[in-house]
Amino acid sequence: MAILPILEIPNPLLRQRAKKIRSLSNKTISLAHDMVETMREAGGVGLAANQVGVLQRIIVIQLPEEEEARIYLNPEILKATGSRKIEEGCLSLPGYRGIVTRSIKIRFQALDSNFKTIKFKADNLLSQALEHEVDHLNGILYTDHLVEHESLYKIEEPKPTETLSEDDLDTSSSFTIK
């Protein structure tokens, strides 16, 4: 497995629509596993194939509490209900976060790594991550969903010699998708 370079804004591939996968191949599965390693190395919750320069409809997701990553091919949001404002970030725009509007719940469909159709309902961080990554495959960035442009802000990264105290940690209930 390999760590792949993650494209950053304004790379034009991030604004292109990824193509549907017509058949399963070893190359596709190998790419998906490389994406998982890349996502983990970068500290993200999800990654879409066009973020690593491949215009195929592949996303990978791994929630913090999960041991295994999820691989989804040709993912679709079938239905979205409700609306909430939540903080988001993205590996393709490192060092920034913003407040966006996302659904409360979604119905989702995709092919798994065995090319079998799966459908399920999702909410909370999972629905947010799925919406974020499917948006990537459609050439949409989280900055397109900003509540207002002023809600995009730069995050301060601690310098390598700095240590954070408990008082420095954000204990709010918002989640960040990278």
Instruction: Please list the active-site residues.
Output: 133
Q: What are the structure tokens assigned to 22, written together? A: 């017509």
Structure letter (DSSP) for residue 62: -
Nearest by Cα to 175 from 87, 84, 61: 87
Q: State residue 85 phi and psi, 5-degree precision.
A: -100, 135
41, 33 Cβ separation under 8 angstroms: no
Identify the bridge partners of residue 122 per DSSP, sorted by sequence position: 106
Nearest by Cα to 147 from 90, 94, 97, 95: 97
Token pair 């976060």 is found at 97
CA distance 65 to 120: 19
Which residues have C-beta within 8 Å of that of residue 11, sequence separation ≥ 6? 92
